[in-house]
Chain A
Amino acid sequence: MDGDRAVQVSTEVRQAVAADHPGREKRVVGRAHRKVDAVAKVTGQTRFADDLFLPRMLFAKLLRSPHPHARIVKIDTRKALELEGVKAVLTGEDLPIPFGILPVSQDEHALALDKVRFVGDPVAAVAAVSEEIATQALDLIEVEYEPLEPIASPEEAIAKPEPRIHDYGDRGNFHKLIHLEFGNVEQGFAEADLVVEDCYFYQGSTHLPMEQHAAVAEWSPQGKLTLWSSTQTPHYVHRALSKVLQLPPSRIRVIACPNGGGFGGKSDPFSHEIVAAKLAMVTGRPVKITLTREEVFYCHRGRHPTLMWVKAGVKRDGSVTALHFKSLLDGGAYGSYGVASTYYTGALQTVTYQVPRYKFQGARVFTNKPPCGPKRGHGTPQPRYALEIHLDKIAERLGMDPAELRLRHLVPPHSLTANYLRVGSMGLGECIRKVVEGSGWREKFRKLPYGRGVGLACSSYICGAGLPIYWNNLPQSGVQLKLDRGGGVTVYCGSTEIGQGSDSILAYVTAEVLGIDPFDIAVVTADTDLTPVDLGSYSSRVTLMTGNAAIQAAHKARDLLASAVAQKLDVPPSRLEFAGGRVFDVQDPERGVAFAEAVQLAEAAFGTICTVGSYTPPPAAGRYRGAGVGPSPAYSYSAAVAEVEVDPETGIVRVPTIWIAHDVGQCINPVTVIGQIEGSVYMGLGEALMEEMVYRANRNLVHKIPSMLEYKSPTTLEMCDVVTYLVEDPDPSGPFGAKEVGQGPLLPVPPAIANAVYDAVGVRIDEIPITPEKVLKALKAKAKGDAGRFGPISFPEIPWPDPIRVPPPWEGGDGTAVGDKGRGAGGMRERRTRAGDYAGGEARG
């Protein structure tokens, strides 16, 4: 390819790319590129939050609770303050205003005010001239606690409404109770040829980003606060700082440094960020706080341990007549994203296979453990695990091939589901065919020798949440472009680079529209002073939303340039093409100007060339309470086949290979798409086989293994081979048709492995992680003639509220609940009118 002087991809990659891809030659989108930050990352130049060192910087440390549940009687900080080198000590009273990511769960304090709720809850903070002195000072803070009875598990939370961990929530220690019904499931079960019921458990796990959370705060005597942080959501941190510190947002600048991995674990505003900011304000010096790895385990916000009960009715051909799903989430000590997580455990069951009648009951309880929140897949890997194993069992009972069963009943593209999710492009069928063929499924399924097996599972994920986290009617993503008369373009966007390639996406799509090289584009992101709001790197929203916003901004710039160039060349603007760094007449490509000249012509004609674009998702189709969680501009689809080897002597499960196909709509950059798929498979493998957050029930609910050595995660030696198939079924909502890839491909991995274990040794492990002990127990039970199964056997009684009944579209429903006239979509925003109470605009300086 000629003319790509600056595309800094090695020629070797370039050649491999060009081969067999003739149609792609003139485009950026769909081709392999280096990420715009790749060179900085391989040379050590990327500055993560802990890499910042400011003059006169102090170091902060947090004193954390040793009790899982206790009242704070007294805190004495005098001795700590007397230690030489200590510059400030804070306690809860210094930061009394609560915060939290969701408007309905403003239940956290930067430092505990009157109560601690888990071992690791921050109680006091010290800033000192060195980390050592700050750590010493923590020992000098005297806290008198009055221990309260800890709530260790969901069962205990249900049994003991008192003591309440929080004074809000649906009742007792229930944080949230949900009951939704779309059509009459009992009728559906009556019509079924087969009804299958079972329980499943998905253990909690943590994100374990390689980078420990860090933040640096600086206060200018001018009255402005700057915070650099390893956060995925600078906009929400901005709002939380404004609320808690009582500063107007215009006096706060939040800069999200590139995250050294996030996976959802850096999506909440955190105590340490607020504390660093306050300490900088109090001392007048920059303050850095870097969590230890142990503290990262306490921050958590990881996968909710979830108990599930599934009842499915099917016809002989495998078509579902009704699905009833219950989930019970162990939320840990705070709300975090938990209300959304709870809804998500019931939202996406309907977007893969047709479900004509659907009932969901979800409950989240508070317990005295580190808070759970969003981890890659947010609330959906758990139900996906249950559902995909359940379908495997159903297929067996019906004597059908599990791949065939799924293929026969796929949700049609461009359709509405029972719970009013609008499905767009739907490439799941193609995904299933790819992995079935690639893995040699037909030759292997139920045919491999004892000890070896294959399993299949599918899934779907959202491409961004349809509704923002706090109620507003503003765009979810904004992009600003500045065109330099030398031909360079700068893209400004609030999105946050966490390794997924969001900075690069902005460059690629802008380059595609303007016909220039992505490496002639500078990208400025995640800085609340400089960049238009983007809500953050969560819910797989970034490519779709920032991509669309960037395309809109780029088209506006292109129109300006086209009109100026059209005048000069005396052709209609519609005849101009932007490609190869030129703007030219398509009918006479020789006639044209260099891109830089086009900018100059436009600048002369219209003044400085800056354009903006923004993206707002389409409104949700559902209008019942709870309809706010699940709608998305588009859904990605994945299918996976896992091959396993199970040693019946030891119970050890090895996974040599996973075949995975992912419908990404359209690859923007296939190399990064594959990277996200491989990374998702890796994380799913870890959850399937080894990762778990466990606590010492008999010793104060202390985290059992808050270290990287003991919290098992896959190393190179456990990681499987991955064969990836990219399926491109462009979605009209996506930028150039693109859908998400960062989270969805994790989902089919655990159930595919569980189904493969069954194929290998004939036992069902209905509980994640699939450890050797569980496999052995199931094998022993089977040998004794019992059910060859390991997993939960019952779901507790829960005081469910009355159901919200919403007739599905095919029963004449219009998305509203029975007896409820035109209520807005919501679920997380019951206290909508109060959301403004803490909105940035209302804070006082």
Chain B
Amino acid sequence: MARRAEPPGHAHISLEVNGEPVEVSFPPHKTLLEVLREDLGLTGTKHGCELGECGTCTVLLDGQPVLSCLVLGVAAAGRKVKTVEGMARGPELHPLQRAFADLGAAQCGYCTPGILLAAEALLERNPRPTRQDIKEALAGNLCRCTGYIKIYEAVELAAAWMRGEDAAPPEESIYGRR
């Protein structure tokens, strides 16, 4: 075994991150998760296992949710990456972000970035998801705080807002059933 750590040659790639062209160089073994957090300073993307088991590190790669801990940084060359930092529209929260904030769908908030992006991808392809559609789309994202229920409700509320509906959350999700 090597007794000396060899500084490996860096990879240098161009990609688009949250709508902006970016160039970055890093050791080629780094994952996209590490490149985003450590080399691009985008710490909004979290990790819970770094083994592809929890969904916390989910980002959108060319619009598709991927586990950034399983994608090599070099594999993002020339592609579009979207992280939670890129969701808000200027000073306006994305409807999903607004609904998550209003309904308490982010408790500790650690799973939230990954779930928001997975939900955004869902709503992109299915603007009117059923509860079951939401469950299936988020089945790879673990959350230990919420029991997922406020997350479903927030996705449903955001979906309605994004369809242009004047929706409000059911009173039961705020005050419980009477």
Is B145 part of the contact surface with A, judged by Cβ < 8 Å? yes
- Min C-beta distance of B114 to chain A, whole Å: 9
Is B54 part of the contact surface with A, judged by Cβ < 8 Å? yes
Inter-chain contacts of B101 with A (CB < 8 A): 34-35, 38-39, 41-42
- Min C-beta distance of B166 to chain A, whole Å: 8
Contact (Cβ within 8 A) A210 B149: no
Inter-chain contacts of B108 with A (CB < 8 A): 41, 209-211, 258-262, 498-499
Is B44 part of the contact surface with A, judged by Cβ < 8 Å? yes
Q: Which of A16, A83, A130 has the most CB of B within 10 A?
A: A16
Please tell me which stretch of A113-121, A132-140, A516-524, A813-821 contacts chain B, meaning at least 4 of its Cβ atoms lie within 8 angstroms of it.
Answer: A132-140
Is B112 part of the contact surface with A, judged by Cβ < 8 Å? yes
- Min C-beta distance of B19 to chain A, whole Å: 15
Whole-angstrom distance between the alpha carbons of A506 and B140 in the complex? 35
Enumerate B47-77 residues with CB–CB distance to A below 8 Å.
47-51, 53-54, 56
Contact (Cβ within 8 A) B148 A719: yes
Counting chain A residues whose Cβ lies within 8 A of the other chain, the interface size class is: 35 or more
Identify A10's interface contact among B38, B102, B150, CB under 8 A. B102
Given A42-B93, A44-B85, A679-B146, the answer on whether A724 and B104 have CB atoms closer than 8 Å is: no
Q: Which residue of A is nearest B109, CB measured?
A: A41
Given A12-B167, A42-B112, A44-B85, the answer on whether A53 and B175 have CB atoms closer than 8 Å is: no
Whole-angstrom distance between the alpha carbons of A85 and B8 in the complex? 14
Identify B171's interface contact among A19, A83, A211, CB under 8 A. A19
Contact (Cβ within 8 A) B111 A51: no
Given A84-B4, A707-B53, the answer on whether A672 and B144 have CB atoms closer than 8 Å is: no
Q: Which of B50, B109, B149 has the most CB of A within 10 A?
A: B109
Taken residue by residue from 82 to 121, chain B's Cβ proximity to chain A (1 for < 8 Å, 0 otherwise) reads as 0111011000010011101111101111111100100000
Inter-chain contacts of B150 with A (CB < 8 A): 671, 674-675, 678
Whole-angstrom distance between the alpha carbons of A563 and B12 in the complex? 66
Taken residue by residue from 37 to 71, chain A's Cβ proximity to chain B (1 for < 8 Å, 0 otherwise) reads as 11111111111101101000000000000000000
Contact (Cβ within 8 A) B5 A136: yes
Contact (Cβ within 8 A) A44 B174: no
Enumerate A645-676 residues with CB–CB distance to B below 8 Å.
670-672, 674-675
Q: Which of A136, A210, A708, A715 has the most CB of B within 10 A?
A: A210
Contact (Cβ within 8 A) A16 B109: no
Whole-angstrom distance between the alpha carbons of A247 and B41 in the complex? 34
Contact (Cβ within 8 A) A48 B144: no
Inter-chain contacts of A51 with B (CB < 8 A): 37, 43
Whole-angstrom distance between the alpha carbons of A675 and B141 in the complex? 18
Inter-chain contacts of B143 with A (CB < 8 A): 210
Whole-angstrom distance between the alpha carbons of A20 and B145 in the complex? 29
Taken residue by residue from 690 to 724, chain A's Cβ proximity to chain B (1 for < 8 Å, 0 otherwise) reads as 00000000000000000111000101110101111
Interface of A, helix, strand, loop or mixed by DSSP: loop
Whole-angstrom distance between the alpha carbons of A210 and B144 in the complex? 7
Q: Which residue of B is nearest A209, CB measured?
A: B144
Is B147 part of the contact surface with A, judged by Cβ < 8 Å? yes
Whole-angstrom distance between the alpha carbons of A35 and B139 in the complex? 26
Q: Which residue of B is nearest A139, CB measured?
A: B1
Inter-chain contacts of A726 with B (CB < 8 A): 175-176
Given A46-B109, A260-B109, the answer on whether A715 and B3 have CB atoms closer than 8 Å is: no
Is A293 part of the contact surface with B, judged by Cβ < 8 Å? yes
Is A79 part of the contact surface with B, judged by Cβ < 8 Å? yes
- Min C-beta distance of A89 to chain B, whole Å: 15
Identify A724's interface contact among B41, B97, B140, B176, CB under 8 A. B176
- Min C-beta distance of B109 to chain A, whole Å: 3
Whole-angstrom distance between the alpha carbons of A679 and B145 in the complex? 5
Contact (Cβ within 8 A) B46 A17: no
Contact (Cβ within 8 A) B177 A210: no
Whole-angstrom distance between the alpha carbons of A560 and B21 in the complex? 56
Identify A675's interface contact among B4, B5, B88, B146, CB under 8 A. B146
Contact (Cβ within 8 A) B110 A708: no
Is B78 part of the contact surface with A, judged by Cβ < 8 Å? no
How many A-B pairs have beta carbons closer than 8 Å: the answer is 233
Is A725 part of the contact surface with B, judged by Cβ < 8 Å? yes
Contact (Cβ within 8 A) B56 A210: yes
Contact (Cβ within 8 A) A9 B102: yes
Q: Which of B4, B139, B144 has the most CB of A within 10 A?
A: B144
Q: Which residue of B is nearest A20, CB measured?
A: B171
Identify B142's interface contact among A210, A438, A500, CB under 8 A. A210
Is A77 part of the contact surface with B, judged by Cβ < 8 Å? no
Enumerate A240-271 residues with CB–CB distance to B below 8 Å.
258-263
- Min C-beta distance of B145 to chain A, whole Å: 5
Contact (Cβ within 8 A) A43 B144: no
Whole-angstrom distance between the alpha carbons of A726 and B84 in the complex? 33
Inter-chain contacts of B84 with A (CB < 8 A): 42-44
Contact (Cβ within 8 A) B177 A723: yes
Identify B5's interface contact among A13, A40, A84, CB under 8 A. A84
Whole-angstrom distance between the alpha carbons of A223 and B138 in the complex? 48
- Min C-beta distance of B125 to chain A, whole Å: 18
Inter-chain contacts of B112 with A (CB < 8 A): 41-42
Is B45 part of the contact surface with A, judged by Cβ < 8 Å? yes
Given A12-B168, A136-B5, the answer on whether A258 and B109 have CB atoms closer than 8 Å is: yes
Is A352 part of the contact surface with B, judged by Cβ < 8 Å? no
- Min C-beta distance of A15 to chain B, whole Å: 6
Inter-chain contacts of B175 with A (CB < 8 A): 17, 21, 32, 670, 674, 726
Is B135 part of the contact surface with A, judged by Cβ < 8 Å? yes
Contact (Cβ within 8 A) A140 B147: no
Is A88 part of the contact surface with B, judged by Cβ < 8 Å? no
Inter-chain contacts of A130 with B (CB < 8 A): 5
Whole-angstrom distance between the alpha carbons of A38 and B100 in the complex? 8
Q: Which residue of B is nearest A260, CB measured?
A: B110
Contact (Cβ within 8 A) B44 A13: no
Inter-chain contacts of B135 with A (CB < 8 A): 716-717, 719
Contact (Cβ within 8 A) A44 B147: no
Q: Which residue of A is nearest B97, CB measured?
A: A42
Contact (Cβ within 8 A) B53 A708: yes
Contact (Cβ within 8 A) B139 A261: no
Is A275 part of the contact surface with B, judged by Cβ < 8 Å? no
Is B130 part of the contact surface with A, judged by Cβ < 8 Å? no
- Min C-beta distance of A724 to chain B, whole Å: 4
Contact (Cβ within 8 A) B88 A43: yes
Identify B106's interface contact among A41, A132, A500, CB under 8 A. A41
Inter-chain contacts of A670 with B (CB < 8 A): 174-176
Whole-angstrom distance between the alpha carbons of A20 and B136 in the complex? 35
Is A683 part of the contact surface with B, judged by Cβ < 8 Å? yes
Contact (Cβ within 8 A) A43 B50: no
Given A51-B43, A79-B3, the answer on whether A708 and B107 have CB atoms closer than 8 Å is: no
Is B164 part of the contact surface with A, judged by Cβ < 8 Å? no
Contact (Cβ within 8 A) A674 B144: no
Contact (Cβ within 8 A) A724 B177: yes
Inter-chain contacts of B38 with A (CB < 8 A): 53
Contact (Cβ within 8 A) A722 B174: no
Is B9 part of the contact surface with A, judged by Cβ < 8 Å? no
Inter-chain contacts of B157 with A (CB < 8 A): 12
Inter-chain contacts of B53 with A (CB < 8 A): 293, 707-709
What are the 3 tightest A-B residue pairs by CB atom distance, in nearest-first order? Answer: A44-B44, A499-B108, A41-B109
- What is the interface of chain B, defined by CB distance below 8 A to chain A? 1-5, 37-38, 41-51, 53-54, 56, 83-85, 87-88, 93, 96-98, 100-104, 106-113, 116, 134-136, 138-150, 152, 157, 166-178
11 A-B pairs in the complex with CB atoms less than 8 angstroms apart:
A12-B167, A19-B171, A44-B84, A51-B37, A53-B43, A209-B110, A258-B108, A293-B48, A670-B176, A675-B145, A713-B142
Task: Known pairs A42-B96, A707-B53; list 6 more (Cβ under 8 Å).
Answer: A20-B171, A53-B41, A210-B108, A682-B147, A682-B148, A725-B176
- What is the interface of chain A, defined by CB distance below 8 A to chain B? 9-10, 12-13, 15-17, 19-21, 32, 34-35, 37-48, 50-51, 53, 79, 82-85, 130, 132-133, 136, 139-140, 207-212, 258-263, 292-293, 438, 498-501, 670-672, 674-675, 678-683, 707-709, 713, 715-717, 719, 721-726
